[in-house]
Amino acid sequence: MAENSAVARMARLVEEAQSSRSNTQRLIDTCAIYYTPAVVFMSAGVAFIPLMMKLHNPQHWFRLALVLLVSACPCTLVLSTPIATFCALLRAARMGLLVKGGDVLEALSRVKVAAFDKTGTITRGEFTVKEFRVLNSDISLQTLLYWVSSVESKSSHPMASAMVEYARSNSVEPKPDDVSEFLIFPGEGIFGRIDGKDIYVGNKRIVARASSGKVPSMEGLEGVTIGYLVYGRELVAVFTLSDSCRTGSKEAIRKLKSLGIKSVMLTGDSTTAANFAQNQLNNALEEIHAELLPADKVRVINDLKSRVGPAMMVGDGMNDAPALATANVGISMGVSGSAVATETSHITLMSNDIRRIPQAIRLARQTHLTVLVNIIFSVATKIAILGLALGGRPLLWAAVLADGGTCLLVIFISMTLLRERDIKVKKKKCCGSSKKRLSCKSEKSCAKQNCCDSHIHVKHCHSPSHSHAKQNCCDSEAHVKHSHSPSHAHPHSHSHSPKCNGAKVSEEHERCLTSFHDHAAESEPRDCHSNCCD
């Protein structure tokens, strides 16, 4: 059906995002309903009550009423949140993130813990069959592959496509039309009836459901997902599949940690497979929860919310949908993810690059800060103008200028969210002139210094520590390298002293080099921090 296509789903999500408002915006809109009439009545009272009481200088009171009306107008306050939210949503869309509304950004800015599904989220979800072991010699491999591939072809799980491809590589073509009945057991596996035969495919829970007896031990297998094929009540085959982590998974988790967010894994896969993925990530995850049913994932999410704080769930499958709905923020992986996960989640990641998630959190925090700045600035400006008016200087032109100016300024501040920000580390410049001298210092670590008057690079290499001191001077282009070791040091030789286009090396620099030679064999070598040339 066209209404169930990926494009139609995305269109519905865009409509939801446009109609959704953040909690801050709802609060401001609610206050504005009562605030605006109150300001109008107050201004009318200031203008007409003195006139009715026949007070002197009615022009002053009328001007004061106009200043009060213009200054207290909530235009800037009303604009402060929706403009910033709109710019943030547009920026998120450029990043490949479809956010359902401003309230989602507000919740995302407060996230303290991120829970990731394993298959298709942390890992690629591109399985390959490593082994297919037949346990019943009376049934041929081709027959088993026909059963499992025909049933799996009805499923959208990443493992299903791997089994279908494996069957085809063994010259077995799946026949989904032969499957007369098909059922999905979330967190367990699938069931299909072929030619009147009951076929179960899944993890060890599906074996228990089929009542086929004890699950065989699969010791010594690492980094694989184990699947079982049950025919009727008999376990007839065991197969293993392997998957690998996405390229950006480790980087994304590291960036989340730098943002103060804890990362955990929630998976229905085996503990062995979960630990293998953790090893691939260099133990970046702080918690691992394996062999979970969808209800178990919901329980863990609620536990994380109570222990750590607002939780975010990232997943792609039907099994993740309850956890996505339970989390404060649910993020589904890509348009290719399951329709249930996409509809349930608050954010849809249009690509499979989870490195976008830390960027989204930074954007949400920037948006929250921008809204606060807009509100504080607009309120402070109004208070300042009102203070002048009540102090006896009702400047109408200042009130009009402040009202229009703050509106424009709020818009410009909000538009900074559209700008791509690349954080670059700026190198320190040591000096502005070669005439400046810096004294020699003794440090444990390498010292790098960029001087602005030359391009000479003096590199000191000394063992056993092999630390380096680099100096860039500005008046020459000579490159001088000194190599020092305890066995080849020449403490008092000046034949290797650098020259700067014929200029003498400064005496202080030579003393520093001599001191450097003398301390080359010490555990804490000295680094030279002086300019080269006189």
Catalytic residues: 117
Contact 533, 506 (CB under 8 A): yes
The amino acid occupying position 19 is S
Structure token pair of residue 281: 């990530």
Helix (H, G, I), strand (E, B) or coil at 125: coil
Nearest to 240 by CA among 267, 270, 210: 270
User: How many Å separate Cα 322 from the centre of its chain?
Assistant: 22
The answer to whether 224 and 211 have CB atoms below 8 angstroms apart is: no
**Could you tell me the CA-to-CA distances from 452 to 351, 458, 530 in Å, in that order?**
45, 14, 13
Neighbouring C-beta atoms of residue 419, cutoff 10 Å: 8
Number of other residues whose CB lies within 10 A of the CB of residue 396: 15
527 Cα distance to chain centroid: 40
3-state secondary structure of 207: helix
CA distance 351 to 25: 30
SS3 of residue 278 by DSSP: helix
- Convert 160-182 to b/e letters by CB count within 10 Å (16 or more is b): bbbbbebbeeeebebebeebeeb
Please report, as a single letter, which amino acid is at residue 107: A
Cα(202)–Cα(296) distance, integer angstroms:
18
The secondary element (H helix, E strand) that includes residue 99 is: strand 97-99
**From the centroid of its chain, how far is CA 199?**
41
Residues near 86 by Cβ (< 8 Å), separated by ≥ 6?
A: 414
- How far apart are the C-alpha atoms of 386 and 135, rounded to whole Å? 86
Return the structure tokens found at 445: 């670590």
Angle value at C-alpha 421, between 415 and 422, nearest 5 degrees:
170
- Let me know: does 97 contact 360? Beta carbons within 8 Å: yes
Distance in angstroms (rounded) separating the CA atoms of residues 338 and 325:
14
